[in-house]
Structure formats: C-alpha cells, structure tokens
C-alpha cells in the first residue's frame, strides 16, 4: 500500500517555529524548493511564547556599554557550566547581532534606546546617551554581565515569529499546516523524508526530500508541570531516535524556570526580574541576596531554581493547596511599567489568577521550561547517524547551551541556528541528489498503517493512552526534577520502563476514524516514553552535578570524568537507551568558576 | 475568502476610487440627513414657545423658496441614502439568516443596535413617505393645520360602526422614536467608523441628544393637541 | 463545586454519515478551571474523539478561539467560574470546519497575508556589517500595538459583514495593514496601500458594528486602528484624485 499523497521537494523542514521557518528561508534563498510541515498554523508555534527577549551583544543600552561577542561568549559558556560546544557558541555570539538587525529590517519593532537618566528599582542611576538613541535597546537577564537582551515589550517571540513568517509568506515558501511527521524514512545511510499524518482528515502522506530538517521544539510536556505549549512533547526527536542510529544528546539537561505561575504553570518572563522584580518568601522577605549576593535574582536559571527549592525546603515557602510556592514581586516597578513593558504577563496573571501584578504578588514556583538536549548534531546542524538529516532549535543538541541555557539565548538560537544551519542545509542540498527504491518508502508507510490498524483493532492490547501519558508526566515530576538522587532516578527508570512496555500495548477506545485526536496521541506515546527514559536514564548515569543537572549524591561538577556529552541511542527491541559519550572540547575557555551558584559560594568560603 | 480566492476577481474588481466615494457619500448623506432631522425637530418645537413663531418660520421658509428646494432635495438625499446604506444591509435570504442568527447568538450590544437600524430604516422608508404625502396635501404648513392633523381622529364614520382611532398621534409618536433612533445611532456609527471621538463617551452624548430631541418632539406633539382642542369646530383638515 | 454541563457541537466531516449535532458532557467544576482544563478532561476521560485546538493555553497563540455561550472567545482564558453552569461550545463561523470545535484559521489567515501583502516592502538590501537603522522608541511601541494581534479569528467571527461577505478582510486584516502603515521601514506609497485596502473588501467594507472592538481577546484598540486606516485611505484617495493619479 502507498500513501494517499506524496510530495517531493529539495528540502523538507519539519516544524514551522522560528528555527524551522528561518532555516527554510535560508534554503529558499539558495533557490531550493522547500516544503515546511507544521502541526499547527506556523504563527501559533511555541516560539511566540518567548516573552522576554533575545540576547545579542549590541552594547547600545546604558548598562550594555562595553558588551561584545566575547563577553556574550563567556556568559554563555559559564551559563552552560562548561557543558556546551564552544565552537558553536563562538559562531552563535558573532551571528546574533546580525540576526537581530536582519529581524529589524524584516519588521520586528524592537524597543529602542531613549536618551536620558533614569533610576533603577534598586536605586542605581543609569544614563542612556544621546549617540545611542534610536538604536535597539536591551534589558537585564539572568547570568549575563551586561544588559544584552533585546526585546519588544514582553511579546518578543510573538513579533519575531510574525516577522519571520511574513518573509516565508513573501517568498512564497510552501507550508503545509496540520501535518504531523510520524516516522523518518531512511535506508540506514541516508534520510529520505518522512511519513506523516494529515491532522485535518487522518490521511497518511509521504514527504520525500534531499534533506530533512527537524525543528520540532522541545519535550517539556513530558512533565506534568511545564511552561511549554501542549504540542511541545519531543515527538520530532523521538522519530529520529526511533531509527536506532540517530542519538539524542544530553537529554538529562532539563531547565526549570524559576517563575512558572502557580497553579497553571504559565511562564512569568525572566524580564520581570530583569526589570527589577524580586522573589519573596512567606515572610515577604527578599531571600535571593542571601544566597547569591552578587547576581541576586539574576543568577542563571538553574541556580535561582535550586535556591528557591532550597528555601522552600526550609519551610519558608507559602503554603497552598498546590504545594509550597514563593512570590514574584514587581509592584515597585509601577503600574505604567508593568502594564506596558510587562503587559503580557500582567494579562496572564489577570486572566488566569485574577491578580494585578502592579498591586499584588504573583505566586510562582520553578517549573520545567526547556530541554537543552535533543537530536545531536555537528556544528552545521547535521544529525549524527544519517546523511541528509538536520536538526536545529530546541529540538536539537547543537550544543549551544550545555547543561544550562541562559534566558534570551533560546529565541536567539532559533534564528541564529536558522541562519547557520539553514545555509549548511542549502550547501549540502545543492550538492546532493536523492536515490531510492520506492519499495522502501512503501514499506515505511506500511509499518505506520499497520501500527494504526493495530491501535484501532486493539491487537496488541487495550492500554489507555491517557493513563500512560499521565503516568509518564508524574514519573518525570517525581523522579527527574530539580534535585536528583540515584535511588530516586532508579525508581524513575523502572516506572518509565513499565510505562514504555504498556505504551506498546495501547488500544484505542474510539474508532480512530478521520483526524481522530486519540490516534494522534497513541501514535506518539511510545516515542515519548523512550524520550522520557533517555532523560531519566541519562540523569541516573551522570554521576556529577553540572548546570541544571543537580545530583544531591554527587553535588560537585566533575571535569575529570564528566566533561563529556551523553548520546542516547535506542536499539530496536530494547527497553532502555544505549548510552554513549563523546568528549566536550573547551577550545577557548577552560572549565572554571561560574561566579554564581553553590560551587562559587563554596569557593569563596574557603 | 476560501471561496473568493478561487473566483475571477480581476475583471470584476472595483476600479479606482469608486468604493471610497460611495463610502464617503454614505457618510455625508447620513450626516446631512441627521442635520436635517435635528433642524426639522428644532423648527417644529418652536410651536411649544409660540405658534406664531412656528408660522413665521414656516412662512419664511416658503418665502425664500427654502421649502420648495429643501423638500425635493431632502427626498433626493433620502433616496441616495437608501441606495448607499441599503447595500450594507443583509438583503439576500442567506445573509439575513446568518445576520439574524449571529446577532441573537452573540447578544452583542452594538450589533443589536445595528439590527435596530436596519428595521428602523425600513419603517422610516414607509412612514416618511406617508408623512410627506400628508404635508404636501395640506400645504402650506401652519401651526393650526399641523395641530389639526396631529389631533385628527378617524375614520369616525358611522358606517364603520363609529370606530375612532387617533391615528396621527400614534403615527407621530412611533415615527419620532424610530426616526431619532436611526439618526442618533446612524451618526454614532459614522463617528465610530471615522474615529474622530472616543467611542463610548460619544455614544452616551448622542444618546443624550436623541433623548432630548425625542422629548422636544413629544412636547411639540402635546402642544399641537392643545392647540387643536382650542380650534373652532370644523377646523379639521379637509 | 457546581456540576457543569457542556453542550458541544459535534460533526466530523471526514466520517461518512456523520451529522452535525450537539452533545452533552457533565463535569464537576474544579478550582480555577479553564475551558482548556475542561475540554482536555472531556477528551481524556469521557470522549477521546472530541476535536479541539489548544497550543499555548496561555492566551498567546490564538489557537483556541470558539463560540462559548454564543460569543467568540479564547477557550484557554475563559474560566468556568465566570460562566453559568450550562456552557455551550460551537466552532467559529466563517472559517472552514475541520471537525467539532476545530476550524481552519491557518488557511484563511495565510490567504489574508497574501491578499494584503502583509510584509515589510523595502528595496534595501540587508547589509550584515551595517548597524540597524534608528527608530524612535515611540514609533516602535506604536507598531507593536496592532502587531499584538494573534490571528485567533474572534473579530472575524464577531463581524456580520465578514460572515456574509466572503471577500471582506475583517478587522484583523485592516489592523494588519495599519501595522505596516505605521512602520517607516515599509516603503509602500499611499497609492500602494490604497490598492490593497482602499475598497469594499478592505477598509470601506466595514460597517462599524464593533463586534471586533468589543470582543478582541487581546484588547487591541481595533476601532482606533480601523478608523486610522479609513481616514488615511480616504485622504490618500482624495489626494490621488487631486493629483490625477489613477489607481487600478
């Protein structure tokens, strides 16, 4: 049997967020025929939820003076806890200012420098100079030495997504929305495209291309409490890992954002603290300066999240029926500032909690936010294991972020890697051709059709997909959180293995006809279980603490044994990933002190 | 739009600035008609102060041929306005069904107000013609003749069983409300579209003006009935 | 907590023989329950066939617009506590129905972008070595205001004109054009803009019913933006007439 429709193009981009769209533009500019697939209309991508801004060393704002790609580089490497690829970081920091300026030409209404003196909430007086007036300004973000985060109020991601999509539109690039890639087609050497399911009518379709680009975002929704959109489940990485030859890198590196709003877990941007917001405990005491005298609320996210958890463990959290939480206080920024520069989060607190942050405290708790890991690629974005397969953005482990990402570096990564990887894709594709046996493609389609048939008939079992989904979400919360221990992780692995086995026995409760949503969930679930296991098992095996991976039984960073990157393969028939490791090369900046966090504080005590 | 994009739109496209002029003309004709109506009501209301003043004004209008040109001009304006504004109304049955269903379902204030405008437009079309007919047939306009008309009761013919109905007073009460509703909200909508004033405040202002004018109209109607009561018997219109 | 009754429009055009109908589901109200929580619960616990769209569930992406008790709203930020115990849900009108509460806003908006040429028109080549062009922060803020539109479709659904005229671009379309008019980087002339929206499919098609202005979930000042475009296009049209410039 063959698919209902087959589409052939030079380049196939899976995912139409900022990364996917930007890469597609680069490929189309090279004259290539590009098709973009998207689960949803592109402008609804999770990239729009990036509120605070994009880091680029422009050095225009008062406290950004003296900034340069070198300073940005050092911040990024320290933020990553020396876990990232410094060659990638170097390319990134050099390109980011170009990306911001190009976006400016494409229409992003970046906020600009307004000359004059002003007083910051902490009492410092700063002056924006006349010569910089009208250039793109920046705000403060965690873990940065300079004010470097360019923004449009707190709708930065939204304006970037819209500007980039206008270019896709203008260039006439083909976008197919409501299409979900459900498996990769490959011959063990080359990636040939994907088998996809049309979410409008349930048809199985195939997309064949010389190069396939995975830009499907992160896998935050494996956790019950995540700031991520509901579509961010890591399915793009999962279909790559399912080939058995493409590894996921550093999956145990999961970021928790300090300020997810209780109890809906919607993000309160880091810009709130960047603009001068405080974190308070149940006594309304500002506790962060005690832990982090230098960076206070603006240490890197992994550090702030741990400090908050530590503080709540001391019994100083605010009790609620959703468990303890802390307060985010931005009242002192004033109504005008809150309702203009932080309007989106003001709206969110009003809409979902009935709280006006200009006058009231917002309940917050560290919440799963970002996956530094993903499909492991080289610095060109080419995935390990298959030729013609690329990955970028949060879906990839290009490895800009190592074990902790700085706020403002992810939305920057999307467009910057879109430019760099997009160009690499174009270069590869221009010199490539595609050669395949059509039978191979039909076989891949047949596998998926068989899976669908079995899910509908319940041939393999009658497990309820939603029970398994919830099981995974809870296991991840309970066992692979901010602080991790060996026994806890072992239990987690065992639970997830059990859930994985059950996920192979899912049977639908509905007919599965048409664009049935239960079928979509059921097709995805085994892959999501494998991804969850890769996170949990990787965390168990990494016996050190680095960045956001914090082992209470191994509290120190171990550069002797663990200056390396985890690669998680999934061999067919296995119920655990096969882990492999590759060295992390610190080309420019040798491992040292971050200047914030527990080890830095311990160093000073001596 | 799904469908529209698949149609021939090149040769049928509106060319040049037609749509602008039509839209401008709709707004301008509306503003002029509101101006006319409000002036008309102010003039009529002079009867409250003094019937003689009413007569003087009326004579003046005739003397300087303002009525002779004004009435046909207004009629022409109304016809133009019907054509221009009418094209916005849901005229096809399909459109009417959609509009009615959505209006009821959404229960949105301004949309209801607009539904009211469509209905009052139809009523004004009929009632204005009747009004015009009765005036033209009892020319010239004087406080006494108007009073007699307003107060007349008919048919009062015994061959119809002595049935009496104060037709004109009821007619004018309805016509007044309907006309002022359409004018007040029509002006509101013009201002909304061109955005010269803050919408909600301006809405209240126009509602206020409309209520005042309706009140003036009622007072004038009452005055007419009083004048009619004091007229000598047989002073009724022909 | 109350028992909530959800009356939900059901119809899947891809299942042969399926007919449009309203189906009822009952749920116990929970603290802070949004329609996102409610619909997810219905799908996961009561009826796995129920189709609806959520992405960000935080009123940022615009995916979940639907008619809730007759009014277009974003379901994610509609809270049960602000609703009566009987809640009806229908898909948005105008947009093509995909199934149940899902409509195809993607295609409609894509067509709109192409029709209104909603991108920055410039002849400037990007120079990676050059600094960005300067702009007043106030101008940037002015552009951001209409740019906040999330293309949820509520204004289109709430507009009688958009409901009865297939070619009307709706408040979202006119607002989108306003965004580019305010942007000095877009080099289009008045005549170019007039060609795009100076007609009944665009700004002169608006009747002023203000369903858009009152029901926009992002609270974008649509009346202001629509009026801005109308005034600008009227002035442009008259000026072009005066100058003797013909527009096609």
Domains and CATH numbers, chain B: 2-229 (1.20.1300.10)
From the CA of B118, how many Å to the nearest CA of chain C?
Answer: 12
Alpha-carbon torsion, ordered A373, A376, A377, A381, to 10 deg: -50
Show pLDDT as tens, one digit a residue, over chain C (248 residues): 899 999 999 999 988 999 999 999 999 999 889 999 999 999 999 999 999 999 999 999 999 999 999 999 999 999 999 999 999 999 999 999 999 999 999 999 999 999 999 999 999 999 999 999 999 999 999 999 999 999 999 999 999 999 999 889 999 999 999 999 999 999 999 999 999 999 999 999 999 999 999 999 999 999 999 999 999 999 999 998 888 777 65
Give CA–CA dist A489/A476, Å, rounded.
9
Percent of chain B predicted with pLDDT > 70 = 86
C-B interface (Cβ pairs under 8 Å ≥ 3): yes
For A351, the closest chain C residue by CA position comes to C77
Residue with tokens 């882990």: A579
In a domain, C247, yes or no: no
Residue pair A39/A46 in contact by the 8 Å Cβ criterion = no
Residue pair C97/C9 in contact by the 8 Å Cβ criterion = no
In a domain, C109, yes or no: no
Query: Is residue A273 flagged as an active site residue?
Result: yes
Identify all chain C residues contacting A49, using CB atoms and an 8 Å cutoff: 56, 58, 60-61
Give CA–CA dist A493/B89, Å, rounded.
66
Nearest CB to C237; choose among B20, B108, B194: B20
C157 and C232 inside one domain = yes
- DSSP annotation of B4 reads G
Give CA–CA dist C102/C7, Å, rounded.
15
C127 and C88 inside one domain = no
In a domain, C194, yes or no: yes
Q: Which of C103, C126, C153 is the last residue of a domain?
A: C103
Please judge whether B17 and C198 are an interchain contact, meaning their C-beta atoms are less than 8 angstroms apart.
yes
Copy the structure tokens of residue B10: 């090149």
Please judge whether C167 and B107 are an interchain contact, meaning their C-beta atoms are less than 8 angstroms apart.
no
Please identify every stretch of chain A with a pLDDT value under 70, giving residue numbers as ranges: 1-2, 603-606
Q: Which pLDDT score is estimated for B1?
A: 58
| First-to-final CA distance of chain C | 62
Could you report the per-residue pLDDT of A311-366, keeping only the tens digit for each? 999 999 999 988 999 999 999 999 999 998 898 899 999 999 889 999 999 999 99
Residue B236 has pLDDT above 60, yes or no: no
Q: Chain B interface residues facing chain C, Cβ-Cβ under 8 Å?
A: 1-5, 9, 13-17, 19-20, 22-24, 88, 90, 92, 94-95, 98-99, 102-111, 114, 189-190, 192-196, 199
Identify all chain C residues contacting B108, using CB atoms and an 8 Å cutoff: 71, 158, 209, 211, 214-215
B-A interface (Cβ pairs under 8 Å ≥ 3): no
Q: Which pLDDT score is estimated for B51?
A: 86
CATH number at residue C209: 1.10.1060.10
Q: What angle do the packed helices A517-541 and A438-457 form, to 10 degrees?
A: 100
- B161: pLDDT confidence band, cut at 50, 70 and 90? low
CATH number at residue C57: 3.10.20.30
Please judge whether A106 and C120 are an interchain contact, meaning their C-beta atoms are less than 8 angstroms apart.
yes
Please judge whether B108 and C67 are an interchain contact, meaning their C-beta atoms are less than 8 angstroms apart.
no
Kindly report the pTM of this predicted structure: 0.94
Residue pair C116/C108 in contact by the 8 Å Cβ criterion = no
Mutation target for C interface from A38, A105, A339, A469: give the one with most C CBs within 10 A. A105
Give CA–CA dist A16/A36, Å, rounded.
6
Nearest CB to A347; choose among C34, C59, C134: C59
C22 and C134 inside one domain = no
H/E segment holding residue A583? strand A578-583
Please judge whether A178 and C98 are an interchain contact, meaning their C-beta atoms are less than 8 angstroms apart.
yes
Mutation target for C interface from A4, A25, A40, A41: give the one with most C CBs within 10 A. A41
Please judge whether A49 and C137 are an interchain contact, meaning their C-beta atoms are less than 8 angstroms apart.
no
User: CA–CA distance from A479 to each of A483, A487, A562, A576, A579 (Å)?
Assistant: 9, 9, 22, 17, 19
Question: Quick one: residue C219, left, alpha or beta (phi over 0 = left, psi -120 to 50 = alpha)?
Answer: left
* Residue among C40, C175, C69, C176 nearest C120 (CA): C176
SS3 content of chain A, % helix, strand, coil (to 5): 40, 20, 40
For A228, the closest chain C residue by CA position comes to C56
Chains that touch B (3 or more CB pairs under 8 A): C
Identify all chain C residues contacting B14, using CB atoms and an 8 Å cutoff: 199-200
Q: Which pLDDT score is estimated for B152?
A: 76
Please judge whether C126 and A105 are an interchain contact, meaning their C-beta atoms are less than 8 angstroms apart.
yes
CA B181 to chain centre: 8
Identify all chain C residues contacting A43, using CB atoms and an 8 Å cutoff: 61-62, 109, 150-151
C186 and C142 inside one domain = yes
Nearest CB to B195; choose among C107, C169, C227: C227
C127 and C169 inside one domain = yes
Nearest CB to A200; choose among C15, C32, C98: C98
In a domain, C185, yes or no: yes
From the CA of C161, how many Å to the nearest CA of chain A?
Answer: 25
| List A90, A158, A273, A565, catalytic entry | A273
Identify all chain A residues contacting C45, using CB atoms and an 8 Å cutoff: 466
Residue B2 has pLDDT above 60, yes or no: no
Q: Which pLDDT score is estimated for B63?
A: 83
Residue pair B61/B67 in contact by the 8 Å Cβ criterion = yes
Q: Which pLDDT score is estimated for B137?
A: 82
From the CA of C166, how many Å to the nearest CA of chain B?
Answer: 5
C94 and C150 inside one domain = no
User: CA–CA distance from C99 to each of A596, B7, C14, C18, C23 (Å)?
Assistant: 52, 26, 8, 11, 14
Could you report the per-residue pLDDT of A278-317, keeping only the tens digit for each? 999 999 999 999 999 999 999 999 999 999 999 999 999 9
| List A46, A139, A148, A257, catalytic entry | A257
Please judge whether C34 and A347 are an interchain contact, meaning their C-beta atoms are less than 8 angstroms apart.
no
Please judge whether C14 and A158 are an interchain contact, meaning their C-beta atoms are less than 8 angstroms apart.
no
Nearest CB to C223; choose among B3, B90, B199: B199
Mutation target for A interface from C51, C82, C119, C183: give the one with most A CBs within 10 A. C119
Please judge whether C56 and A44 are an interchain contact, meaning their C-beta atoms are less than 8 angstroms apart.
yes
- B12: pLDDT confidence band, cut at 50, 70 and 90? low
* All residues at 6 or more sequence positions from A344 whose CB lies less than 8 Å from its CB, including other chains: A51, A153, A154, A155, A269, C60
In a domain, C167, yes or no: yes
From the CA of B1, how many Å to the nearest CA of chain C?
Answer: 5
In terms of Cβ atoms closer than 10 Å to its own Cβ (0-12, 13-18, 19+), residue B64 is exposed
Copy the structure tokens of residue A417: 């890697």
In terms of Cβ atoms closer than 10 Å to its own Cβ (0-12, 13-18, 19+), residue A180 is buried
Please judge whether C234 and B2 are an interchain contact, meaning their C-beta atoms are less than 8 angstroms apart.
no
Identify all chain C residues contacting A509, using CB atoms and an 8 Å cutoff: 48
Furthest-apart CA pair in chain A: how many Å? 72
Please judge whether C119 and A166 are an interchain contact, meaning their C-beta atoms are less than 8 angstroms apart.
yes
From the CA of C132, how many Å to the nearest CA of chain A?
Answer: 5
From the CA of A140, how many Å to the nearest CA of chain C?
Answer: 18
Q: Which pLDDT score is estimated for C247?
A: 67
Please judge whether A162 and C147 are an interchain contact, meaning their C-beta atoms are less than 8 angstroms apart.
yes
For B3, the closest chain C residue by CA position comes to C166
For A172, the closest chain C residue by CA position comes to C114
Q: Are strands A149-150 and A54-55 parallel, antiparallel or unpaired?
A: antiparallel
Copy the structure tokens of residue C107: 């295609």
C57 and C120 inside one domain = no
Please judge whether A41 and C135 are an interchain contact, meaning their C-beta atoms are less than 8 angstroms apart.
no
C27 and C52 inside one domain = yes
Please judge whether C120 and A263 are an interchain contact, meaning their C-beta atoms are less than 8 angstroms apart.
no
Nearest CB to C32; choose among A159, A263, A514: A263
* All residues at 6 or more sequence positions from A52 whose CB lies less than 8 Å from its CB, including other chains: A139, A141, A149, A151, A154, A156, A269, A270, A271, A274, A407, A408
Chains that touch C (3 or more CB pairs under 8 A): A, B
Please judge whether A105 and C122 are an interchain contact, meaning their C-beta atoms are less than 8 angstroms apart.
yes
Q: Which of C103, C135, C158 is the last residue of a domain?
A: C103
Give CA–CA dist A67/A147, Å, rounded.
8
In a domain, C111, yes or no: no
In a domain, C99, yes or no: yes
Q: Which pLDDT score is estimated for A606?
A: 40
Residue with tokens 């507009």: C159
User: How many structural domains are present in chain C?
Assistant: 2
C84 and C26 inside one domain = yes
Neighbours of A443 (CB within 10 A): 11
C97 and C11 inside one domain = yes
In a domain, C248, yes or no: no
Q: Which of C103, C130, C150 is the last residue of a domain?
A: C103
Mutation target for C interface from B12, B17, B114: give the one with most C CBs within 10 A. B17
Could you report the per-residue pLDDT of A488-529, keeping only the tens digit for each? 999 999 999 999 999 999 999 999 999 999 999 999 999 999
User: CA–CA distance from A415 to each of A15, A373, A422, B27 (Å)?
Assistant: 13, 18, 10, 48
Give CA–CA dist B78/C119, Å, rounded.
42
Residue pair A509/A454 in contact by the 8 Å Cβ criterion = no
Q: Are strands A116-119 and A125-128 parallel, antiparallel or unpaired?
A: antiparallel
Identify all chain A residues contacting C177, using CB atoms and an 8 Å cutoff: none
Question: Residue C169 sits in which domain range?
Answer: 116-242
Give CA–CA dist B226/C234, Å, rounded.
50
C84 and C198 inside one domain = no
| First-to-final CA distance of chain A | 70
Q: How many CA atoms lie within 13 A of A383 on its CB side?
A: 35
C129 and C238 inside one domain = yes
């Amino acid at each position: 049997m063959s698919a209902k429709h087959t589409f052939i193009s030079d380049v196939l981009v899976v995912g139409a967020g900022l990364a996917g769209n930007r890469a597609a533009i680069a490929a189309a500019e090279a004259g290539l025929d590009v098709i973009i697939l998207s689960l949803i209309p592109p402008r609804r991508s999770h990239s729009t939820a990036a509120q605070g801004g994009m880091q680029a060393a422009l050095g225009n704002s008062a406290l950004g003076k003296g900034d340069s790609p070198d300073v940005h580089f050092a911040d990024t490497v320290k933020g990553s806890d020396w876990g990232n690829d410094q060659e990638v970081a170097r390319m990134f920091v050099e390109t980011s200012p170009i990306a911001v300026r190009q976006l400016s030409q494409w229409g992003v209404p970046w906020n600009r420098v307004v000359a004059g003196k002003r007083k910051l909430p902490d009492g410092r007086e700063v002056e924006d100079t006349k010569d910089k007036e009208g250039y793109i300004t920046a705000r403060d973000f965690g873990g940065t030495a300079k004010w470097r985060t360019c923004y449009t109020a707190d709708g930065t991601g939204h304006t970037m997504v819209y500007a980039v999509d206008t270019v896709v539109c203008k260039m006439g690039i083909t976008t197919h929305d409501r299409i979900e890639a459900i498996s990769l087609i490959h011959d063990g050497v080359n990636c040939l495209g994907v088998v996809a399911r049309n979410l409008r009518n349930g048809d199985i379709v195939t997309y064949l291309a010389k190069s396939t680009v995975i830009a499907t975002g992160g896998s935050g929704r494996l956790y019950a409490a995540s700031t991520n959109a509901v579509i961010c489940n890591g399915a793009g990485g999962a279909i790559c890992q399912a080939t058995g030859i493409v590894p996921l890198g550093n999956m145990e590196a999961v970021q928790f954002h300090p300020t997810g709003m209780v109890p809906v877990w919607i993000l309160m941007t880091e810009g709130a603290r960047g603009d001068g917001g405080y974190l308070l405990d149940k006594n309304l005491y500002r506790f962060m300066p005690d832990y982090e005298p230098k960076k206070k609320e603006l240490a890197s996210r992994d550090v702030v999240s741990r400090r908050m958890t530590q503080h709540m463990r001391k019994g100083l959290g605010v009790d609620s029926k959703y468990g303890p939480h802390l307060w985010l206080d931005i009242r002192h920024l004033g109504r005008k500032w809150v309702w203009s520069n932080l309007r989106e989060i003001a709206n969110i607190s009003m809409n979902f909690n009935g709280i006006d942050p200009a006058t009231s405290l917002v309940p917050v708790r560290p919440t799963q936010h970002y996956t530094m890991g993903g499909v492991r690629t080289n610095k060109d974005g080419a995935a390990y294991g298959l030729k013609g397969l690329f990955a970028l953005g949060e879906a990839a482990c290009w490895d800009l972020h190592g074990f902790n990402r700085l706020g403002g570096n992810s939305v920057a990564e999307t467009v910057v890697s879109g430019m760099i990887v997009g160009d690499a894709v174009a270069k590869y594709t221009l010199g490539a051709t595609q050669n395949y046996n059509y039978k191979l493609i039909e076989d891949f389609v047949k596998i998926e059709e068989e899976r669908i048939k079995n899910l509908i008939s319940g041939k393999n079992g009658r497990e309820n997909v939603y029970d398994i989904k919830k099981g995974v979400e809870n296991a991840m919360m309970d066992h692979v959180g901010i602080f991790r221990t060996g026994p806890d992780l072992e239990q987690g692995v065992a639970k997830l293995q059990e859930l994985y086995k059950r996920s192979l026995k899912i049977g639908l409760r509905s007919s599965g006809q048409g664009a049935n949503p239960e079928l979509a969930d059921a097709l995805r679930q085994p892959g999501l279980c494998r991804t969850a296991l890769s996170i949990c098992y990787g965390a168990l095996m990494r016996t050190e603490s680095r960045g956001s991976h914090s082992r209470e039984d191994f509290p120190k960073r171990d550069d002797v044994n663990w200056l390396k990157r985890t690669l998680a393969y999934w061999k067919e028939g296995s119920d655990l990933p096969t882990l492999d490791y590759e060295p992390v090369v610190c080309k420019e900046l040798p491992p040292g002190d971050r200047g914030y966090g527990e080890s830095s504080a311990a160093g000073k005590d001596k | 739009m799904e469908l529209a994009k698949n149609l021939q739109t090149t040769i049928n496209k509106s060319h040049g600035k037609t749509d602008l002029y039509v839209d401008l003309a709709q707004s301008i004709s509306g503003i002029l008609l509101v101006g006319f109506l409000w002036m008309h009501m102010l003039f009529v209301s002079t009867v409250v102060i003094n019937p003689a003043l009413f007569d003087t004004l009326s004579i003046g209008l005739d003397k300087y041929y303002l009525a002779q040109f004004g009435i046909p001009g207004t009629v022409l304006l109304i016809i133009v306005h019907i054509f221009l504004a009418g094209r916005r109304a849901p005229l096809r049955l399909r459109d009417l069904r959609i509009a009615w269903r959505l209006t009821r379902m959404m229960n949105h204030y301004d949309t209801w107000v607009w539904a009211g405008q469509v209905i009052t437009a139809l009523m004004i079309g009929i009632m204005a013609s009747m009004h015009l007919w009765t005036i033209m047939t009892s020319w010239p306009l004087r406080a006494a003749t108007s009073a007699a008309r307003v107060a007349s009761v008919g048919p009062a013919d015994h061959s119809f069983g002595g049935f009496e109905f104060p037709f004109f007073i009821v007619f004018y009460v309805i016509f007044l409300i309907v006309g002022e509703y359409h004018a007040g909200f029509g002006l509101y909508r013009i201002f909304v579209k061109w955005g010269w004033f803050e919408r909600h405040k301006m809405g209240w202002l126009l509602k206020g003006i409309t209520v005042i004018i309706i009140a003036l109209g009622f007072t004038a109607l009452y005055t007419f009935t009083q004048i009619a009561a004091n007229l000598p018997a047989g002073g009724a219109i022909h | 907590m109350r028992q909530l009754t959800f009356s939900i429009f059901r119809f899947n055009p891809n299942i042969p023989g399926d007919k449009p109908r309203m189906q009822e589901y009952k749920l116990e109200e929970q603290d802070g329950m949004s329609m996102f929580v409610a619909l997810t619960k219905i799908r996961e616990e009561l009826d796995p066939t129920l189709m609806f769209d959520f992405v960000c569930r935080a009123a940022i992406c615009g995916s979940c617009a639907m008619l809730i008790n007759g009014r277009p709203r974003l379901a994610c930020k509609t809270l049960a506590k602000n609703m009566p115990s009987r809640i009806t849900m229908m898909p948005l009108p105008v947009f093509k129905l995909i199934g149940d509460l899902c409509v195809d806003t993607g295609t409609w908006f894509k067509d709109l972008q192409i029709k209104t040429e909603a991108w920055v028109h410039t002849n400037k080549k990007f120079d990676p070595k050059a600094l960005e062009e300067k702009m007043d922060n106030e101008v940037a803020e002015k552009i951001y205001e209409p740019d906040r539109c999330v293309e949820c479709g509520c204004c289109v659904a709430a507009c009688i004109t958009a409901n009865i005229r297939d070619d009307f671009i709706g408040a979202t379309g006119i607002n989108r054009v306003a965004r580019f008019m305010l942007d000095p980087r877009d080099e289009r002339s008045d005549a170019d803009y007039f060609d795009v929206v100076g007609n009944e499919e665009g700004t002169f098609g608006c009747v002023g019913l203000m369903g858009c202005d009152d029901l926009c979930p992002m609270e974008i000042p649509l009346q202001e933006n629509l009026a801005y475009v109308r005034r600008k296009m009227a002035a442009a049209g008259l000026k072009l007439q005066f100058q003797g410039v013909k527009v096609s």
